[in-house]
Amino acid sequence: MPPTRGIQAIAAAMLGGSPLDLGESEAGGGGGSSSGISYLHRNVAGFVNSERLTDSTVFLFWAPKTNIVQSMTSIQARAGAHSYSVLIGSGLLATIGERIGEKLRPPKQCAIISDTHVAPRFAEEVEKSLSAAGFQPMLVEVSAGEQFKTLEQAGSICERMLHSGLDRQSFVVGLGGGVIGDLSGFVAAIFERGVPHVQVPTTLLAMVDSSIGGKTGVNTTAGKNLLGAVHQPTLVIDDIDTLKTLPRRVLRQGFAEIIKHAVIADAKMFQDLKNETGSAAVSLQTLIQRNVEIKSNIVAKDEFDRTGGRAVLNFGHTIGHGIERASNYEILHGEAVSLGMIAACMISIQKAGLPQGTLAALADLLQRFGLPIRLPERFSHQRILDALKFDKKFENGEIRFVVTPKIGSAQLSRDVTMDDIREALQAL
Which range binds ligand NAD by CB under 6 A, 100-108, 115-123, 267-275, 340-348?
115-123
The least distance separating ligand NAD from the CB of residue 136, rounded to whole angstroms, comes to 25
- In the complex, least distance from residue 390 CB atom to ligand NAD, rounded to whole angstroms: 14
User: Which of 11, 63, 72, 205 is the binder for ligand NAD (CB under 6 A)?
Assistant: 205
**Chain centroid to CA 378:** 31
Q: If you count them, how many residues does the chain have?
A: 428
- Cα(129)–Cα(77) distance, integer angstroms: 25
Count Cβ atoms within 10 A of the Cβ of residue 80 and give its class: 0-12 exposed, 13-18 middle, 19 or more buried. middle
Minimum CB distance to ligand NAD smaller for 153 or for 358: 153
**Cβ 241 to ligand NAD shortest distance, Å:** 9
Among 242, 338, 348, 358, binds ligand NAD (CB under 6 A): 242
Q: Which is nearer to ligand NAD, 58 or 246 (CB)?
A: 246
Query: Which residue in the set 113, 246, 345, 371 belongs to the binding site for ligand NAD (CB under 6 A)?
Result: 246
Residues 200 and 177: their CA atoms lie apart, in Å, by 8
Distance separating alpha carbons of residues 127 and 142, to the nearest angstrom: 16
Residues binding ligand NAD: what is the number (CB under 6 A)?
28
Q: Which of 99, 108, 215, 231 binds ligand NAD (CB under 6 A)?
A: 215
225 binds ligand NAD (CB under 6 A): yes
Residue 245 touching ligand NAD (CB under 6 A) = yes
* 253 near ligand NAD, rule: CB under 6 A: yes
**Sole window of 43-51, 64-72, 203-211, 414-422 interacting with ligand NAD (rule: CB under 6 A):** 203-211
The residues, ordered by sequence, that sit 6+ positions from 388 with a Cβ below 8 Å of its Cβ are 318, 319, 321, 322, 394, 418, 421
Looking at 7-15, 143-151, 352-360, 379-387, which segment touches ligand NAD (CB under 6 A)?
143-151
By CB under 6 A, tell whether 119 contacts ligand NAD: no
The answer to whether the peptide bond before residue 64 is cis (omega within 30 degrees of 0) is no
Neighbours of 364 (CB within 10 A): 11
Residue with Cβ nearer ligand NAD (257 or 266): 257
Q: State how far the Cα of 390 lies from the Cα of 128, in Å rounded to an integer.
A: 43
CB 322 within 8 A of CB 375: no
Question: How far apart are the C-alpha atoms of 274 and 147, rounded to whole Å?
Answer: 35
Report the distance separating Cα 406 and Cα 17, nearest Å.
Answer: 36
**What is the SS3 assignment for 218?**
strand
Residues 180-199 interacting with ligand NAD (rule: CB under 6 A): 180, 182
Pick from 146, 276, 302, 305: which binds ligand NAD (CB under 6 A)? 146
- The stretch among 210-218, 319-327, 358-366, 382-390 that binds ligand NAD (CB under 6 A) is 210-218
Cα–Cα distance measured from residue 336 to residue 316, given in angstroms and rounded to the nearest whole number: 8
Contacts with ligand NAD in 297-336 (CB under 6 A)? 333
DSSP string of 236-301, one letter each residue: EEEEGGGGGG--HHHHHHHHHHHHHHHHHH-HHHHHHHHHT-S-HHHHHHHHHHHHHHHHHHHHHH
Q: How far is the CB of 114 from ligand NAD (least distance, A)?
A: 9
Q: Which residues bind ligand NAD (CB under 6 A)?
A: 115, 117-118, 144, 146, 149, 176-180, 182, 202-203, 205-206, 209-210, 213, 215, 224-225, 242, 245-246, 250, 253, 333
